[in-house]
Amino acid sequence: MGMLCAVTFSTNGQLHYANPGDLRPEVGDSVLLPTDHGAVAARVVWAAEYSPEETEGFPVLLGMAGPDDLAATEQMRKTKARTMVASRKLIREHGLPMKVLAVDPQPSAGKTVIFYSSPETGVARAFSAGPSGATVGGAAQAGSPRTVTSHGDAVCGDVHLERAAALRRPG
């Protein structure tokens, strides 16, 4: 039993439930939600209210988000968008049978993780060179880091490709 609120990282995005702690955020407020990679600004879409259900285990809001937090979140959104476009362009240019599912820039770890699906194994090995001078060096294997250098808006930093498990309907 305790208080819960719901936040989202993007408009019409997935809801994430949190314990507001001592805060009483209202709908539309920006708050800081703890994640594995540090605090991230999120928007409250369901104000804090009492829940008769067990609320232990939900993340506790760290505080209200300030202008610097909102700017960092906007920069992260732009980085994700640029990485997604650059990844899809590399895949299309190489004719690879893979689909980018998500991009997770992790500046604190100095890397970007690209989650993809593919009907074939070993596809990441071909993900080795791209437009605008972007190159992915080394023998690429799913889960292994590659250093990417670029000119312009392409991906920069260590890139980790993570193949999503194939979901198949039984029978």
pLDDT band at 29 (very low <50, low <70, confident <90, very high): very high
Distances (CA, A) of 105 to 40, 87, 164: 12, 13, 17
Higher pLDDT, residue 17 or 133: 17
Task: Please tell me the predicted confidence (pLDDT) of residue 138.
Answer: 30
Tokens representing 6 are 């719901």
Helical segments of the chain, H only: 67-94
Higher pLDDT, residue 145 or 139: 145
Residues 6+ apart with CB under 8 A from 151: 132, 133, 134
Note the pLDDT tens digit of each residue in 40-88: 999 999 999 998 888 889 999 999 999 999 998 888 888 888 888 888 8
Is the pLDDT at 10 greater than 70, yes or no?
Answer: yes
State pTM to two decimals.
0.64
Average pLDDT of the chain is: 75
Question: Average pLDDT for residues 9-30, to the nearest whole number?
Answer: 92
Share of the chain above pLDDT 90, in %: 28
Contact 19, 7 (CB under 8 A): no
Higher pLDDT, residue 162 or 12: 12
- How far is Cα 139 from Cα 128, in angstroms, rounded to an integer? 8
